[in-house]
Structures are given as C-alpha cells and as structure tokens.
Amino acid sequence: MKSDAYMDMVRSAQKRPEFWRLFVILAVGLVVGLFATPLFFLTIGAADPALNAINVDASGMPRVGVTPGGLFVVLAGFAILVVATVITAERLTARSLRDITGPSALMRRDFWATLKWLSGLLVVLLILPSGGDPAQVSVQYGFSQWLFWVPFAVIGLMVQVLAEELFFRGYFQTQITGATKSYVFGVVGSAALFGVGHVSPVADGLAGYFPVLWAICFGVVAGDLTMRSGTIGPAVAIHLVNNFAAMMFAPHKDVFSGFGMWVSTANLEDLYSDPMIMIYEFAFLAVTWLAARVAIRR
C-alpha cells in the first residue's frame, strides 16, 4: 500500500532520476561512514579519553561504545550523516528536506502514534523469555545510575535513527524508486544496503551474517512503513524502540554496551547461531511491524 504522500516523495526523486546519481549517493554514505565519522571519533577521543568511542581490550580486540561517553559519541556522530544527506539531496537531486521526510505534520503524528504503541508492546515483550543463559548476564549499573544515563541515550539514539532513516528510507529508497520506477526495488535495494552495514565485527563465520539478514528484514519493514505513511515517522519510531531495547537492557559487553543496565558476557557466535534467539528476534520484528501498522492505521 502506497500513500499519496509517499508518491509525492517519489515524484520529487524523479526530477533527477539518473542512475549515476545513485552511485554518488552511495559514495557519500561510504565517505561519511568510513572516513568522516571515524575522524570525528578520533578527534573527540583525543580531546577527552572518557569520550573514546573505540577501546581495545587486553587481547587487542576493539570494543565499540562500551562507556557512556564513548557510546554517546558513537550515536552523536550520526549527525554527520544527517548533514551530508540533506546537502546531497539538495545539491545532487534538487530535493528539499520535506521531500525526503514527507509532510512534517503527518510525520510527527505517525511517529508519536507508532512510538506509543511500540513502547507499550516493548514492556510486554521484555517480560517474555528470549532464550539465552541468565548466568551470562551481569549487572552494570544500579537503577538510579542507569536512569541518569537514559536522557543522554535517548538524545543520542534519536540522532542515530533519524540519520539512518533519513538516508536509507527517506532519500535512498525513494531515489531508487524514482530511477527504476519500481517500489519493490526501492525497498529491497535500500534494505540490502542497510543490511551490509551490519556485519558483526566480533563474530566469525555464519554467526557474523545473522545481523546482516536481520537488518535486511528490518530495512524491508521500515521501507514498507515509510510507503504506507508517506513519511519516515513510523520507521524512526520502530528503529528507536528497537535500538533502545538492544542498547539499554542487556547489550553484549563488547558492543554498544555503554548505557546497558545489564551486560551479556555470552559468546556472540553462540548467540547469533542459537535458534531460540533467532526466533525471538524475528518474532519481535514481525510483531512490532504489525503494531506499527495498527498505530498508523494503514
């Protein structure tokens, strides 16, 4: 189902639909992800060691965002992608911010409607068993200390999810659709690119590709919600709730764990190859997608 507002977004992409522009957009994303953002991390970390985004453990393995300051820097660094996306959309494809977000009033309405439904759903789902060994989860912060970090986490997460949805769904997905005249190619193409960026840096073999498969499925869900809404609002909301759940409760101790009330010490290769974990993760995604559709009534 494609809303009228989404068709307007696609029409704005068709003003300059040449395929070579898609490769330029990809190049911009790569430059931001591989050069500009790491440079930002190094600069901030050099100014204050407490804000180091990447630490190295005793075995020489990188640990990403394992302190509150470090994780906040990781998330805040996505602001670079926001700026790059807006500038590229305007200069390369003559598209305004509204063209890649959808109507602002509709975006806000669908964002809040989706967020309210998913927040309630998250409370229920967190109570349900998700697999894994409870003995491999340890307390990182007391409740009051964790609450202190929650506002910083929400601000950082909003920057991150807004940046990714703006680039992947609002801009790249609609630009692919405008170039190919295929709504399916738009959703699947942007989802595939989104998934490639989620190869696990700390898991080898087949387990390293489970996050990729899950991210591709997430991209399809977010793309579908963007088509139905005609804005990136619901996709931002579902992305925010998903990342909040992943980072705030029991993240793995080596990856984005700086804000977690608990941390998991389990082997990531074991987790990503555990059928119960896989079932839970995909079920969580399916249920949140259905809840988001109910929230926006499309």
The residue ranking higher by pLDDT, 127 or 69, is 69
**What integer pLDDT is reported at residue 125 of this predicted model?**
75
Provide the b/e sequence for 227-263 (b: ≥16 CB within 10 Å). Answer: bbbbbbbbbbbbbbbbbbbbbbbbbbbbbbbbbbbbb
Three-state SS at 104: helix
Among left, alpha and beta (phi > 0; psi -120 to 50; other), residue 94 is left
% of the chain residues with pLDDT over 90: 74
Our measurement of the distance from residue 138's CA atom to the centroid of its chain's CA atoms, rounded to an integer in Å, reads 25
pLDDT mean over 22-39: 96
pTM: 0.94
**What integer pLDDT is reported at residue 133 of this predicted model?**
65
The residue ranking higher by pLDDT, 60 or 82, is 82
Nearest to 53 by CA among 79, 155, 45: 45
Hey, what are 10's tokens? 């696609």
Three-state SS at 273: coil
**What integer pLDDT is reported at residue 54 of this predicted model?**
87
**What integer pLDDT is reported at residue 203 of this predicted model?**
60
Q: What rounded mean pLDDT belongs to the chain? A: 91
Q: Flag the least confident range among 121-135, 241-255, 270-284.
A: 121-135
Res. 124 pLDDT band, cuts 50 70 90: confident
Residue 288 exposure: Cα atoms within 13 Å on the Cβ side? 33
Res. 242 pLDDT band, cuts 50 70 90: very high
**What integer pLDDT is reported at residue 107 of this predicted model?**
98
Q: What is the pLDDT of residues 203-220, one digit of tens each?
A: 666 667 888 999 999 999
Q: How far lies 231's CA from each of 9, 10, 12, 66, 170, in Å?
A: 9, 11, 13, 33, 7
Q: What is the pLDDT of residues 173-202, one digit of tens each?
A: 999 999 999 999 999 999 999 999 887 665
Hey, what are 145's tokens? 């200390």
Q: How far lies 190's CA from each of 18, 27, 144, in Å?
A: 17, 14, 40
**Cα Rg of the chain (Å, integer):** 19
% of the chain residues with pLDDT over 70: 94
**What integer pLDDT is reported at residue 129 of this predicted model?**
62
Is the confidence at residue 268, as pLDDT, over 90? no
